[in-house]
Structure formats: structure tokens, C-alpha cells
Amino acid sequence: MLALVFHQCFTAGYHYPLNRLNFVLQILSSILLVIYQAVTLGVNLSELSQFSKNWPFMFPYIAYRLPRRDTWTLAQVVFFIILESLMALLAHANYIQFLMLIFPSKLERSLIFWMLGPMALVQAGMFFADFAKFNDFKTIDLADALVNICDASLALLYTSGLLIWGGFVNWRRAWRTDGSTAAFGIAVLVVAVCKTVVSFVHIAYDRAYWIRLLSATFTNWQCWLGVLVVGVGGHGDWRV
């Protein structure tokens, strides 16, 4: 994600004039994801350090679910849940706004907003289920299932939107060989497929919480590459 933030900073002079709202959503989403990853890594490393100092002086084989309701203070739990929810919501809001730019008619924008927006809100809201008791496994498992299903559904719809735009709506410009448009197009499709596969795998392996970070990372990369394809391809007037 740090690499993506650097890329976004280097292309800010091109991206910001193209569409200010999209640029702000992308940079905020990436920064929040970097902060979330740093917090998660710091917590895990701290706990591993504690494990190594006690018998049997070895690391656990599985990563614990965060936040740790049994050991964290209420302030720590609230901070982590809000950070996690905002990270997911901004990533999807970023992509939904991008789709509304490449499908600019009033009907298309309304369909995109009302089909994808509620799922993004549901996914972000389910993170607040972590306020339940740490041993309330039914509530936690149901929330995890809804998060994963919404994420997989959104990933499939994002990929479908890109394929429709690049394969039918604007295929002549999307696959131009000048300006590296076709190269960026191939890259965004590869990332989109990876994102979709990872999201559906996470439904089956819902205890592998690290997949959630990987999925969010793919979402941010996919949107940034998509902006490059559409911007270089010269699709319409994006300026706000």
C-alpha cells in the first residue's frame, strides 16, 4: 500500500485536475489502509513478543482476531473498529464514485449508487459487531459472513462494470496501444480478477482475517489503475 500511496502522490498533478473528488477519496482510502495495516502489524508483533517471553517460548500458529475484546480497553476497541469501518467504506465509496464517472448517465449513476451503496454500508456497519461480547460467537460469525458476502458481491460487480465498459461501451479507446492504455487495461483486469478470487476465497476461509487486508489492497489498486485507463483513454469530461 505504501507503493500505491507513492504512485498516487507522483500522479497527483495529473489525477487531481482530472477529478478532485476521486483523487481525495483515493488518497484518503489509501492512507487509512496504511494506518490500519500499521496498527494491525504493530499489535501482532507486540503480542508475538509477549508469547516469546513465556513458556513454551514459541509463537502461535494462527493469527488472533482483532480487536481483542478480552484484553483491550474500550477506547482501543472503539478506535480500531472505527478505523476498520472507515477503511472499508472509503475503499468502496472510491470505487463506486469511479464507476459513476465511467457510466455518466443519470439512470446508470442511480443504478450504481443504489445497487452498490447499500452493500458497502452494510459491510462497513458489520464491523461494529465487534462491540458484542468476545465470546458471542454467533453474532461475530454472522457479521463476518455478511462482511465477506458483501465484499465478494461488490468485487464481482466491480469487475463486471469494468468488463462492460472496456469490452462494449468504450472498447476502442480502452485498448489503444498509444499512451500505455492497453497495458494499464490489462493490469486493471488482472487485479480485478485477483480481487474477485480473493473475496470469494475469503467466504470459504472466513477465519483467515489477513485476507481482508489483501482484498482491500486490491480494491485500491484496481481503482487507481482504472483511473489511469480511463484518463489516458480520454473518456469524456471528468472535471469537477
Identify which of 32, 27, 34, 29 has the alpha carbon closest to the alpha carbon of residue 1. 34
User: Is residue 159 assigned to a domain?
Assistant: yes
C-alpha cell at 124: 462497513
Helices (H), the chain: 2-10, 12-18, 20-52, 74-102, 106-126, 137-164, 171-174, 181-204, 210-233
Mean pLDDT of 197-204: 92
User: Is residue 142 assigned to a domain?
Assistant: yes
Half-sphere CA count of 137, side-chain side, radius 13 A: 1
User: Is residue 13 assigned to a domain?
Assistant: no
User: Is residue 137 assigned to a domain?
Assistant: yes
Write the pLDDT tens digit of every residue in 63-108: 677 888 778 888 999 999 999 999 999 999 999 999 998 888 899 9
Place of cell 481525495: 24
C-alpha cell at 88: 472499508
Number of structural domains found in the chain: 1
Decide if pLDDT at 235 tops 70.
no
Domain span at residue 228? 18-233
User: Is residue 205 assigned to a domain?
Assistant: yes
Write the pLDDT tens digit of every residue in 143-161: 999 999 999 999 999 999 8
User: Is residue 66 assigned to a domain?
Assistant: yes
User: Is residue 71 assigned to a domain?
Assistant: yes
C-alpha cell at 171: 472498447
In this prediction, residue 232 has a pLDDT band, given cuts at 50, 70 and 90, of: low
Mean pLDDT of 27-33: 93
Q: Record the pTM.
A: 0.88
Res 240: pLDDT: 44
Identify which of 13, 150, 131 has the alpha carbon closest to the alpha carbon of residue 74. 131
Write the pLDDT tens digit of every residue in 102-139: 888 899 999 999 999 999 999 999 999 988 887 788 88
User: Is residue 1 assigned to a domain?
Assistant: no
